[in-house]
């Protein structure tokens, strides 16, 4: 029986982001609407206000799943606590990244805010210099793995608290789409431990990112020297990730580009009784097998992005293709895809215990210059997979190339929460920073899945912060109660109040 896979796409319906036309007020006088009146600025001696009111949701999630207790139980970096514990440092850095921090020094914004200190129930927050010293206390890979294991526990616990219909669908019908990719993080410091030159000569690290498609959660991040291949740590990462992913999903499908076409990774997936759909390298023997296929084996193929255009009428007034126009005007050579075909054959990679399916996509390329067509050629693209025969070659190609959405995750991991910052000189310290950035990233994803509207999980961090982190709030102590007062005019106030109730213990 074929296993169904739910394709999650970004919501294009901006629900609640506009005001109804009948509710819009109309100016009572003529002239400009924005009149820029004279303002009088005063200072309030009380430090109860903060514009990070959205930290209340992150703090409630951390409290509900006992993140601080788990960190102190598994992470032992201090001989004595004077006065901070390991959890104090980890969560202070995670909150800094979750809010809008881009470096260690930005932790000072939380440190100086009395309202933030009240939110997290602290009389003081670690200094940025102390935060750097804490990262340097990670000396071995075991220390970093202990921090990663705590995040894994919280992630699995958060999945168990998802709505019942979501958990039932995951357990019975869905595959977990586990995506693999690397990122070259260029470094400008000459004293970065463990850095090396990448294949294109950049002084860099090359972390491996393992993520879950649909929810966008980061399952694993492994720091590596720039000279390493992205796939070098992939087999070990999957060995740790796949068992607990399979406990919550019916099975897992591992996807990656051609760099992950290696026997140790494929065998690791097979040993875990999971599936893979990996881009295959076009070696000489594989190209020979593809070229030897009879013509009747090839079926026409239309990419998924173009299938809806075939029947849709041409849009009137469409913007001209200026790139193509300029290339022809300057006499540049231009490659254009004319036709595509798809075929399948059985193939057993070297070092893999069982044969798999090799999906071959043949592409006819036309090369032109400013004068017209020069010649035509064929290119081949391969996908190695062990998915059952109930999946057609076209469905497998669609599944494999949907992993390209992970590029957006990797970009947001750096532009959204400054995860690629690498703030210290030590290799293990920077790896620990990546784990803390993973925690900050997943805090937003867990809050969105557990307590916010469904489309929020696909929002970029800039939009998420604007609506659910940047909230003017007053934090008051009344008797034994700690009360957070939010402005009544916030667009998403009902959703925030409902989310707070759902996240409470």
| Total Cβ atoms within 10 A of residue 193 | 13
pLDDT for 251 equals 93
User: Residue 194: pLDDT above 70?
Assistant: yes
Residue 47 or 77, more confident: 77
CA distance 413 to 484: 30
For residue 196, pLDDT beyond 70: yes
**In this model, does residue 3 exceed pLDDT 60?**
no
- In 3D space, the residue among 359, 351, 360, 361 whose CA is nearest the CA of residue 386 turns out to be 359
Does 5 have pLDDT greater than 60? Answer: no
Question: To the nearest whole percent, how much of the chain has pLDDT over 70?
Answer: 92
DSSP-derived letter for residue 230 is G
Binned at pLDDT 50, 70 and 90, residue 375 comes out as confident
Q: pLDDT at position 237, please?
A: 97
Compute the distance between CA of residue 8 and CA of residue 1 in angstroms, rounded to an integer. 22
Question: Range with the lowest mean pLDDT among 87-91, 273-277, 376-380?
Answer: 376-380
Q: Region 251-260: what's the mean pLDDT?
A: 96
Which residues is 299 bridged to in the sheet? 342
Backbone angles phi, psi at 246, to 5 degrees: -70, -15
Does the CA dihedral 344-363-278-306 come out positive or negative? Answer: negative
> Can you tell me the distance from the alpha carbon of 346 to that of 359, in angstroms, rounded to the nearest whole number?
9
Q: In this predicted structure, what is the pLDDT of residue 13?
A: 43
Q: What percent of the chain has pLDDT over 90?
A: 74
Q: How many residues does the chain have?
A: 505
Query: Exposure of 221 by Cβ count < 10 A (0-12 exposed, 13-18 middle, 19+ buried)?
Result: buried
Number of H helices, E strands in the chain: 18, 15
Q: For residues 290-304, give the mean pLDDT.
A: 93
- Quote the pLDDT of residue 11: 46
> So what's the pLDDT on residue 117?
93
d(CA 364, CA 137): 56
Closest CA to 177 of 10, 403, 385: 403
Query: Is the confidence at residue 12, as pLDDT, over 50?
Result: no
Tens digits of per-residue pLDDT, 398-407? Answer: 999 999 999 9
| Model pLDDT, residue 311 | 58
User: Does the pLDDT of residue 1 top 50, yes or no?
Assistant: no
What is the mean predicted confidence (pLDDT) over 259-271? 97
Region 442-467: mean pLDDT is 95
Res. 9: pLDDT tops 70:
no
pLDDT in tens, 115-151: 999 999 999 999 999 999 999 999 999 999 999 999 9
- Residue 360 has a pLDDT of 97
pLDDT, position 98: 97
Q: CA 39, CA 289: separation in Å to the nearest integer?
A: 76
Q: How buried is residue 250: exposed, middle or buried, by Cβ count under 10 Å (0-12/13-18/19+)? A: middle
pLDDT score, position 262: 96
Confidence category of residue 350, pLDDT binned at 50, 70, 90:
very high
pLDDT (average), residues 370-382: 81
Structure tokens at 462: 């800039």
Mean pLDDT (whole number) for 306-320 = 70
pLDDT in tens, 365-374: 988 776 666 7
Tokens of 190: 């000459």
Per-residue model confidence (pLDDT) at position 314: 63
422: how many CB neighbours lie within 10 A of its CB? 24
| Distances from the Cα of 5 to the Cα of 113, 169, 175, angstroms | 46, 10, 6
Judge residue 297's burial from the number of C-beta atoms within 10 Å of its C-beta, 0-12 exposed, 13-18 middle, 19 or more buried: middle
Mean pLDDT of the chain: 90
Q: DSSP string spanning 99-168?
A: HT--SGGGHHHHHT-HHHHHHTT-S----HHHHHHHHTT--SHHHHHHHHHHHHHHHHHHHHTS-HHHHH
């Amino acid at each position: 029986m074929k296993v169904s896979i739910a394709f999650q796409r970004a919501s294009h319906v901006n629900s609640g982001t506009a005001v109804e036309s009948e509710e819009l007020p109309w100016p009572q006088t003529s002239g400009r609407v924005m009149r820029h009146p004279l303002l009088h600025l005063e200072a309030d001696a009380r430090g109860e206000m903060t514009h990070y009111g959205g930290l209340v949701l992150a703090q409630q999630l951390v409290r509900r799943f006992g993140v601080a207790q788990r960190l102190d139980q598994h992470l032992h970096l201090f001989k004595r606590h004077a006065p901070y514990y390991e959890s104090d440092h980890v969560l202070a850095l995670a909150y800094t990244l979750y809010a809008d921090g881009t470096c260690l020094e930005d932790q000072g914004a939380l440190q100086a805010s009395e309202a933030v200190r009240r939110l997290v129930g602290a009389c003081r927050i670690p200094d940025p210099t102390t935060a750097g010293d804490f990262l340097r206390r990670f000396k071995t890979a075991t220390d970093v793995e202990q921090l990663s294991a705590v995040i894994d526990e919280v992630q699995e616990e958060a999945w168990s608290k998802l709505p019942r219909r979501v958990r039932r669908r995951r357990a019975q019908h869905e595959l977990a789409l586990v995506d693999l990719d690397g990122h070259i993080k260029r470094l400008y410091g000459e004293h970065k431990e463990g850095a090396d030159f990448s294949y294109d000569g950049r002084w860099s690290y090359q972390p491996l990112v393992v993520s879950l498609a649909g929810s966008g959660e980061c399952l694993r991040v492994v720091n590596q020297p720039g000279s390493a291949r992205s796939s070098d740590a992939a087999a070990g990462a999957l060995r740790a990730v796949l068992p607990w992913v399979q406990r919550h999903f019916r099975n897992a499908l591992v996807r990656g580009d051609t760099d992950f076409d290696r026997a140790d990774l494929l065998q690791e997936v097979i040993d875990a009784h999971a599936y893979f759909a990996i881009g295959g390298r076009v070696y000489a023997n594989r190209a020979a097998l593809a070229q030897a296929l009879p013509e009747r084996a090839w079926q026409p193929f239309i990419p998924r992005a173009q299938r809806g255009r075939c029947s849709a009428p041409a849009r009137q007034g469409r913007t001209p293709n200026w790139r193509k126009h300029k290339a022809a005007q300057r006499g540049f050579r231009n490659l254009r895809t004319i036709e595509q075909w798809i075929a399948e054959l059985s193939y057993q990679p070297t070092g893999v215990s069982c044969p798999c399916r090799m999906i071959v996509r043949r592409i006819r390329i036309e090369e032109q210059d400013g004068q017209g067509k020069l010649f035509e050629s064929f290119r081949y693209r391969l996908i190695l997979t062990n998915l059952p025969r109930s999946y057609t070659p076209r469905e497998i190609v669609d599944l494999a190339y949907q992993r390209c959405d992970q590029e957006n995750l990797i970009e947001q991991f750096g532009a959204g929460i400054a995860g690629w910052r690498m703030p210290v000189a030590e290799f293990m310290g920077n790896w620990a920073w990546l784990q803390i950035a993973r925690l900050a990233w997943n805090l937003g994803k867990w809050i969105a899945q557990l307590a916010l509207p469904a489309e929020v999980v696909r929002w970029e961090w800039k939009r998420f912060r604007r609506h659910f982190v940047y909230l003017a709030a007053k934090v008051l102590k009344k008797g034994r109660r700690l009360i957070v007062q939010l402005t009544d005019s916030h667009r998403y106030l009902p959703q925030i109040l409902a989310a707070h109730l759902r996240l409470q213990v």
